[in-house]
Structure 1
């Protein structure tokens, strides 16, 4: 049986960005023009992992100078779709709201609570109602979790994150509020990225990199730029390992029916283009 061509887009968050060390046959590819303006970088890194075509796009730009509120999420996702990507694997730095989910751990995103408020470009259409009961693809979630376990990393599955506007960190009152909701993580970038990926029929999943305890924990473990940067150095190595292992597992699956179903759901969500 001939499988549908698998092409992976990796959106590298803080700590990963456009790191190409996991790829072979590397070259730079000019980002195609989009109806939504310029993506985060004018060029993407292209290469292969186990003969699977992979494009890497840094969410915050090559100089890491794009704030979460200013990321052109539509242009980023549109670019990956134009380049033929069928799947998007994203990494995202997150703060933990639970003692058991410690800095240095990995997590698999399953649900989000949207607390963003000033971001434009939330849809590719005038009116579209994309379903979001399972915004992150369950099959890829399982693969990411399996790959992390294979490597011996502590990884938490089925996590719920509160996506805040940023770029500031939470107040203590906000952090305790999110805990009272039963959320696991705080994040700044998954919305509207995951929504837009679903509108394009892309199979999307996020690997969470746990950098801190937000601000509800003791002072020495509360979120700060220094702590986040230090923890991400360790986590970026783990994340790259998990991504490579995951892509090798994904290569063994025939995604044809899965992609067809995603395309139908995306098309049926459009009311006014």
Structure 2
């Protein structure tokens, strides 16, 4: 059995070029429709799936992204690894527009977004101490450096609700918290990927300095779009290099991502809600049986 790589494209990354036998595939999930159809195919002999997080044409607000359906659909298609790409503002002087950050931590300030596949009738608690897969993050870093990108390994992503950008007071507060970048979509995506036992890596494309920086004024969407165009090219180069690095035989994840549910389900088998268990067939079927 081989690894299968899913890519979630954020703002500015709406397509994936170069796939053999490429086809847009609709996937039915118990959580509704995914953000868009999923582009499937092979890249350098490795099976790939590409999902534009906001949909082609950018039709979904950050809070309206169907995160559960997206992760379920990728898992249902057989993905073992998911690389998520997103546009972010920088909260650090040395994280400049155009830089790429391979993230390793998140702070979730979103509200009202369904953050778990589990619920009453089937309760589970997974560890998020280390919310990304170090192995897959290594591959992303190597692919970015090969593409000539300026890369920062490690960073904390502040997930805000949006769709408005921060006030200056909020931006300064997040800097005081030690956050490195700010965006609107990494949560609950990373939480759900862990529950689905997927190896997950998150790559942030820096577009601006948010509004804290005294020399850069307010966040300007026109300027962001200019930087996004350049960043999207770097992200696509990274994706093209991933099959050679992250593909190959399916061995157990050294980080344990593929076994995250081993001791997570708390509800006794005879107390589990059959309807919820049925909805969990793709993401948790390994442990629910």
TM-score range, shorter chain: over 0.9
Equivalent position to 1:257, from 235, 238, 252: 252
Cα distance change, pair 222–100 in 1 and its aligned pair in 2 (3 A): farther
Residues 121-270 of structure 1 mapped to structure 2, 5 A cutoff: 121-126=114-119, 127-218=123-214, 220=216, 222-252=218-248, 254-258=249-253, 261-270=256-265
1:83 maps to 2:80: no
Unaligned runs of 5+ in 2: 273-289
Matched residue SS, 2:117? coil
The 1-side partners of 2:100 and 2:204 are apart by 6
Instruction: Find out whether 1:70 has 2:61 as its counterpart.
Output: no
Aligned to 2:2: 5
Structure of higher CA gyration radius = 2
Q: SS state of the match for residue 100, structure 1?
A: coil
Match in the other structure for 2:12: 15
TM-score (norm 2): 0.87
Distance 1:212 1:265, change over 3 A: same
More deviation, 219-228/166-175: 219-228
| 1:63-96 superposed Cα distances (whole Å, 9 cap, x missing partner) | 2110110111000000001111111111000100
Q: 1:38 aligns with which of 16, 27, 33?
A: 33
Relative distance call for 1:218 and 1:144 in structure 2 (3 A) is same
User: Is the alpha carbon distance of 1:201 and 1:114 closer, same or farther for their aligned partners in structure 2, counting shifts above 3 Å?
Assistant: same
Counterparts of 1:169 and 1:182, CA distance in 2 = 19
Q: Which residue of 2 aligns with 1:107?
A: 101
Mind listing any 5+ residue stretches in structure 1 that lack a counterpart?
none
- SS of equivalent to 1:266: coil
3-state SS of 1:257 partner: coil
Do the aligned partners of 2:2 and 2:247 also contact (CA within 8 Å) in 1? Answer: no
Pairs aligned (count): 265
Deviations along 1:83-140, one digit per CA (max 9) or x if unpaired, are: 1111111100010001110001111010001111121x21111122110111011111
TM-score by length of 1: 0.92
SS at match of 2:41: strand
The structure with the largest strand share of the pair is 1
* Alpha-carbon distance, 1:170 to partner: 0.5
Q: Is the 8 A contact 1:201 1:259 kept in 2?
A: no
